[in-house]
């Protein structure tokens, strides 16, 4: 059995395609006959455009997981639900649940008219939502907020998919080690590095290397400069872009 992981929403997109790159994050996990959408990007019409181009039908998404309540991860939920006929299970930490505000929604907000399409489930601890596919327990990221990441148990070891890694990559890797008995061998998503984070990037890269996690596929809040900083330690082959349209396969 394989897991197929596709970048659906990111600031970068594959060249020579009609895919849209925009601020936000969404990844599709396909395995064991399930299609799991991890986050929904910031803008619904961009999410739906990319899904259409990638032949991903909104009505065939089996589950949605929301990492945390920032707009770049929850913004596409309403448009996605509007383009479905049947309900879908949505998993999210309590702190991601949002409200309607004057200038728009804050966090994960489901309008009343769409509530019957959203089977909302609170993530409180590690949760296996499909065979060998897990949502992590919410991790504290400050200001009363939490973030969950995803883990897939591949034949070569755990694969992490983290939207922003606000809690820190070390915290996430230690959480994986505690849960599964091994550090991740692959890390996908964002690690929140800015232009001036050269020293932090060097420390992060050293930590990845020490834990033998040398297969990184990064995007979103990592940024171009963050990627460059990490590559100075891990090399070009150790750190790859994971722009919209990029696909990875793992044997499970």
Check residue 232 and give its pLDDT: 87
Q: Are 206 and 41 in contact (CB under 8 A)?
A: no
Check residue 99 and give its pLDDT: 75
Q: Are 193 and 201 in contact (CB under 8 A)?
A: yes
Per-residue pLDDT of 192-205, as tens digits, reads: 987 778 888 999 99
Q: Provide the b/e sequence for 54-79 (b: ≥16 CB within 10 Å).
A: bebebeebebbbbbbbbbbbbbbbbb
Per-residue pLDDT of 59-111, as tens digits, reads: 999 999 999 999 999 999 999 999 999 999 999 999 999 877 656 668 899 99
Check residue 103 and give its pLDDT: 62
CB atoms under 10 Å from CB of 215, counted, come to: 20
Residue extents of the structural domains in the chain: 2-245
Provide the sign of the torsion angle of the four alpha carbons 83, 164, 63, 121, taken in this order: negative
Check residue 246 and give its pLDDT: 98
Predicted TM-score (pTM) above 0.85: yes
Tokens of 183: 């550090």
Which of the following CATH numbers is that of domain 2-245: 3.40.50.300, 3.70.10.10, 1.10.3470.10, 3.60.15.10? 3.60.15.10
Check residue 104 and give its pLDDT: 64
Where the chain has pLDDT below 70, the residues are: 101-105
Task: Quickly list DSSP for 103-161.
Answer: TEEESB---GGGGGGEEEEEE-S-EEEETTEEEPPPEEEETTEEE--EEEEETTEEEEE
């Amino acid at each position: 059995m394989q897991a197929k992981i596709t970048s659906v929403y990111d600031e970068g997109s594959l060249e020579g395609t009609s895919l849209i790159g925009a601020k936000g994050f969404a990844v599709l996990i396909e395995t064991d006959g399930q299609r799991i959408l991890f986050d929904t990007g910031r803008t619904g019409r961009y999410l739906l455009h990319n899904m259409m181009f990638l032949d991903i039908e909104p009505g065939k998404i089996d589950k949605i997981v929301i990492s945390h309540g920032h707009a770049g991860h929850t913004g596409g939920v309403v448009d996605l639900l509007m383009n479905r006929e049947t309900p879908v299970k949505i998993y999210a930490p309590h702190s991601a649940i949002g409200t309607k505000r004057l200038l728009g929604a804050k966090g994960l907000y489901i309008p009343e008219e769409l509530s019957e399409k959203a089977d909302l489930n609170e993530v409180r601890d590690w949760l296996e939502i499909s065979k060998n596919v897990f949502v992590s327990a919410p991790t504290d990221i400050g200001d009363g907020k939490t973030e969950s990441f995803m883990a897939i148990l591949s034949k070569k070891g755990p694969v992490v998919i983290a939207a922003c890694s606000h809690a820190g990559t070390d915290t996430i890797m230690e959480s994986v080690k505690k849960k599964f008995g091994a550090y991740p061998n692959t890390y996908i998503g964002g690690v929140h590095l800015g232009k001036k984070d050269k020293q932090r990037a060097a420390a992060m890269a050293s930590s990845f290397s020490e834990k033998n996690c040398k297969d990184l596929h990064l995007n979103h809040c990592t940024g171009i400069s963050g990627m460059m900083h990490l590559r100075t330690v891990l090399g070009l082959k150790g750190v790859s872009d994971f722009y919209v349209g990029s696909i990875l396969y793992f044997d499970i």
